[in-house]
Amino acid sequence: MKIAFLTPEYPHPKVNTSAGIGTSIKNLVEALVAKNIEVTIFVYHQESYTVIKEKGVTIHLIAKKSYKYCTWYFYRKHLQNYINAVITRENISIIEAPDWTGITMFTKFSVPLVIRFHGTDAYFCKLEKRKQKFKNFVFEKMAFKKASAYISPTNFTKEETAKLFSLAPNKINVIANGIDLENFQNKTPNMFTPKTLLYIGTVIRKKGVLELAKVFNKVIEKEPNAKLILIGSDAVDIRKGVSTYKLMQDIFSDKAKASTNYLGKVSYAEITTHIKNAHVCVFPSFAETFGMVTVESMALQKPVVNTSIGWAQEIIDDGVNGYLLHPKETELYVEKIITLFDDRDLSVKIGKSARKKVEKKFNIDLIVEENISFYKKVISKNNY
């Protein structure tokens, strides 16, 4: 069996950008290669055409193209033709693609197509209670019709997406995203910078960063030595049309602003160091499908104060290996953070329990077997 992935991002120096989608794909790809399964990655909307072969993986960078009209259609047909040629040449068995804005609409591949739910535009619009562009909904719905089967990282995302697009739930298999535990080892969980609060992710409204600014205003009043570290790209706010970090700065009190360190984007290799140094990790998001950085923080034995919305309930057991609170519950967020700041033993205990949960539920060595079994069933059923 040979597996291909179509994606707009992948963690590699020659790829334009990468975030959660790319990270989750890479974790799975490396585990598949360890099982002696050949993998091909197609990364679209790149600056130029390049083929990279390394560590058992072939990466095709496919350049973005513009046409006189209907670029959205002709570029998809271009991807189809390019990918089908490689599928034939390399004898690929199955291809997986993300659901975002329906990249597989108007494409027909010569092998079964699996769509994995990383989050459609419709899904995020529903969670954020904002209006979606009709065109995006149509593109996503049409793309779903092209798929042979679907994978969702959580039951919550499965149910919400199935309702949005009238998908048959029995065609959606729930397989959590996994991480390589060897890459997330913390041999000194008792050592960290006290009173340090860490947020990792895009600085964007849907991640709850504006609520985080309000929380930190109150935290700094109760704990003057507290520090907030923010890591991630700044995004233009969808409502105000300005930098989301600027909006955070407008909310911060003078004390909070002076105790906040915004690092912007940092290399993936540096992320684990920042997590290890943190006292508490906080992710008050309104819209996710899974939350990779939550699991990574848990694996590094950090107490996480997380959102209580849907998907997070399938990652954290509230009060056992982390805390679940609605992003708008400002006072409760402050209370949990201060409790952890004041109780070092509790912080360490929660962190150790978090690691055990990840070992049991999100170990890529176990999850890769679920993916392989699912791919084989799809291939067998479709008889391509």
Does the pLDDT of residue 384 top 60, yes or no? no
In this prediction, residues 5-21 reach a mean pLDDT of: 87
Does 141 share its domain with 14? yes
CA-based end-to-end distance of the chain: 13
In this prediction, residues 106-116 reach a mean pLDDT of: 96
For residue 105, give every residue at least 6 positions away whose Cβ sits within 8 Å of its Cβ, in sequence order, or none: 76, 139, 140, 142, 143, 146
For residue 327, give every residue at least 6 positions away whose Cβ sits within 8 Å of its Cβ, in sequence order, or none: 208, 211, 284, 285, 286, 307, 309, 333
- Nearest partner of 207 among 130, 287, 294, judged by Cα: 287
Does 94 share its domain with 170? yes
φ and ψ of 363, to 5 deg: -75, 120
Does the pLDDT of residue 76 top 70, yes or no? yes
Does 79 share its domain with 139? yes
In this prediction, residues 98-124 reach a mean pLDDT of: 95
In this prediction, residues 45-74 reach a mean pLDDT of: 94
Amino acid 12: pLDDT:
87
Half-sphere exposure of 295 (CA within 13 A, CB side): 30
**Chain centroid to CA 197:** 21
Amino acid 169: pLDDT:
86
- Nearest partner of 108 among 95, 118, 93, 122, judged by Cα: 95
Rounded Cα distance between 173 and 114, Å, is 10
Does 251 share its domain with 318? yes
Does the pLDDT of residue 49 top 90, yes or no? yes
In this prediction, residues 148-153 reach a mean pLDDT of: 96
Find the domain containing 93 and state its range: 2-178+364-382
For residues 62 and 6, is the Cβ–Cβ distance under 8 A? no
In this prediction, residues 224-236 reach a mean pLDDT of: 96
Does 78 share its domain with 12? yes
Q: Tell me the one-letter amino acid at 87.
A: I
Does 337 share its domain with 232? yes
For 224, the token pair is: 């003057």
Amino acid 206: pLDDT:
95
Does 271 share its domain with 227? yes
Complete edge-to-edge strand list for the sheet that includes strand 94-98: 50-54, 57-63, 38-46, 2-7, 94-98, 113-116, 149-152, 172-174
Q: pLDDT band for position 383 (50/70/90)?
A: low
In this prediction, residues 312-330 reach a mean pLDDT of: 97
Does 233 share its domain with 314? yes
In this prediction, residues 240-254 reach a mean pLDDT of: 97
Q: pTM of the prediction?
A: 0.92
Reported as a single tens digit per residue, the pLDDT across 153-204 is 999 999 999 999 999 888 899 999 999 999 999 999 999 999 999 999 999 9
Does 263 share its domain with 308? yes
For residue 258, give every residue at least 6 positions away whose Cβ sits within 8 Å of its Cβ, in sequence order, or none: none
For residues 258 and 278, is the Cβ–Cβ distance under 8 A? no
CATH of the domain at 218: 3.40.50.2000
> Which range, of 74-78, 160-164, 166-170, 348-352, averages the lowest pLDDT?
166-170
In this prediction, residues 138-167 reach a mean pLDDT of: 95
In this prediction, residues 330-350 reach a mean pLDDT of: 97
Q: How many distinct structural domains can be found in the chain?
A: 2
Helices (H), the chain: 20-34, 71-90, 121-128, 134-146, 155-165, 209-222, 244-251, 254-258, 268-277, 292-299, 330-342, 344-361, 364-382
In this prediction, residues 292-309 reach a mean pLDDT of: 97
Does 195 share its domain with 270? yes
Please name every residue paired with 46 in a beta bridge, in sequence order, or none if there are none: 63
Does the pLDDT of residue 10 top 70, yes or no? yes
- Mean pLDDT score of the chain, rounded to an integer? 95
Rounded Cα distance between 33 and 28, Å, is 9
Does 299 share its domain with 352? yes
Does 232 share its domain with 145? no
Rounded Cα distance between 40 and 29, Å, is 9
> Which range, of 168-182, 248-262, 325-339, averages the lowest pLDDT?
168-182
Amino acid 328: pLDDT:
96
